[in-house]
Amino acid sequence: MSLKDSIKRMKEKGSSQADWESIVRGIAERMVAEKLAETQKEIVKSIKDLIKGLVVDYTEKYIKTLSHIKGERGLPGISGRSITGQSGRNGMDGRDGKDGTRGRDGKDGFNGLNGKDGSPDNPTQIASKLNILTEAIDQKVIRGLERALLSLTRQIGEAKSVRVGGGGGMGNVSLFTLAGDGSTTTITLSSDVAANGRALWAYYNGQWLQPSTHYTVSGRTVSLTFTPAADTTVEGFFIRT
């Protein structure tokens, strides 16, 4: 209840002087208590701020003082021991590779080059290995293969268009071979060659021979324009008439 309300109520009741003194005393005590509470809060806040300022100030001074103090010099560390590893074992000396087979001198563009680490396989063995490969071989890898295939395709086409009289067209395929000896330059076939001698394909040590350039055919005779060296081979196949 406010002071104004209290006075109004006292007048309505017709209170005595003692009642008035009691009311005034109660109001004064309440006001003093409220003032003391406010003052106490201000005092506590001031004390906290003072303590905080002192702590910060003394902390900074303490840290600054410690930074100028040097400790005693430490004892020297123990010297480390150097460890040398054992020497590695010497590697084994590699063996010398086997010399390749030296190519023989040929004739008319068939000069053999000096072999280097050459394969001991003969042409038949090399062909067998190529036949078991799972991947196709580019024609350009084998020298002269692309040209030989084109010529073969052309000759087959020409052979199919030839009509041979006397009761027959082209017969079966026959093989031939010549072991070079350094002097023989002719090959005698088992029968005549179809397509007027054009249905024949020859190879010198696996290298395709070009008709007219490296050989000619007349009847059953194949005449080479070069002399196969010893230990070389001329082989091939033809279509019989």
pLDDT in tens, 135-189: 555 656 666 777 777 777 676 666 555 444 443 445 589 999 999 999 999 999 9
Query: Model-level pTM?
Result: 0.33
Q: Residue 233: which of 143, 102, 123 has the closest Cα?
A: 123
Residue 217 CA to residue 187 CA, distance in Å, equals: 10
The stretch 209-213 carries a mean pLDDT of: 96
**What pLDDT, on the 0 to 100 scale, is given for residue 196?**
92
For 69, the token pair is 């103090």
DSSP state letter for 93: P
Task: Tell me whether residue 233 is exposed, middle or buried, using C-beta atoms within 10 angstroms of its C-beta: 0 to 12, 13 to 18, 19 or more.
Answer: middle
Q: CB within 8 A of 17, min separation 6: which ones?
A: none
User: Has residue 22 got a pLDDT over 50?
Assistant: yes
Is the pLDDT at 218 greater than 80? The verdict is yes
* Residues 91-140: tens digit of each pLDDT: 566 666 666 556 555 555 544 444 455 567 766 666 666 655 545 556 56
Structure token digits, residue 181 = 């000896």
Choose among 88, 75, 115, 111: nearest CA to 99.
115
